[in-house]
Copies of this chain bind each other. A is one copy, B any other.
Amino acid sequence: MKESVKVFSPATVANVGSGFDILGFALSNRGDIIEVLPNNEKSLRIINESDTDLPLNPAKNVASVAVAALLGELGSEQGFDLVFHQKISPGSGIGSSAASSAGSVFGVNELLGRPFTLKQLVSFAMQGEKIASGVAHADNVAPALLGGFTLIRSYLPLDIVQLPSPEKLLCTISHPDIIVRTEDSRKILLKEILLKDAVIQWGNVAGLVSGLYTNDYELIGRSLQDVIIEPVRALLIPGFDTIKKAVLKAGALGCSISGSGPSIFALSNSEEVAARIEQVMQQIFKSMDIEVDTFTSHINRQGQKIL
């Protein structure tokens, strides 16, 4: 076995407007940096060298839970140290837990000589998501592992489809310094929805997928429209409607909530428009006295990267 592997595991945007629980894509310039080393303890250890607080109990950390699922499948008793050098802020809505789970199972799989494909790793990483939010969703871990845009066509059985990522697509993220717990933002959703709204939603999902295949940026933009989840979750994000209106006016193709929030994302296809979107997002959060971290990223087509 190699002595260690150090991995960049990307942040991700799940849901992507209309694709609640099924669509996601990976970002280039935010992510976890995780070093994975075999140990002789037959146990998993979390070592935190990042600036962020992390649960050190392996039964409560998403990364070790995901790795334990992988080792369980292999029947392996090998122990590993998972050293976090850099960590996405938890609760940001850009797949913090997914980055940790995905990066850790990826690293362990590398050290073990790749017994599993990337798609197979998704189901282990999902076990981490279950600890984080109560639901083993895959719309962050799949793009974190595979890169680009991914579709979870089905959960039972798990069926993951890689979608194309148009070259010029830019994603601007605004992460306001407010707390929205994934669990809460799931609880406030209605269990029943109108069929007529569902029809609008799956029309948009179909349009979004078509736009990705044809590089039709306008179609991608207008297909982000989410008539079911966003109107409810937007209530938890101060200023969401104002920001959305303003970034669309500034030229964004579309705008919605990243994952369960509070981060907001907007798509564009020019650096100039992306810069304007950043400015608008910063100004509006500032005017509400809310601290905000704003950045723009290309779509990350690679997924996991060995450093």
Contacts and interface: CB of A to CB of B under 8 A. Distances in A.
Contacts of A199: 20-22
Contacts of A209: 206, 209-210, 213
Contact of A210 (B154, B163, B223): B163
A126 to B, nearest CB: 15
Copies in the complex: 2
With a 10 A CB-CB cut-off, give which of A23, A151, A195, A206 has the most chain B CB atoms. Answer: A206
Contact of A192 (B23, B195, B202): B195
Given A191-B195, A198-B193, A198-B228, A203 B163 contact: no
A206 B154 contact: no
A205 B205 CA distance: 7
A153 B204 CA distance: 6
Nearest to A229: B195
A11 B20 CA distance: 34
16 contacts: A20-B199, A21-B199, A21-B203, A22-B203, A151-B203, A151-B206, A151-B207, A152-B203, A153-B204, A153-B223, A161-B210, A191-B194, A192-B193, A193-B198, A206-B208, A209-B213
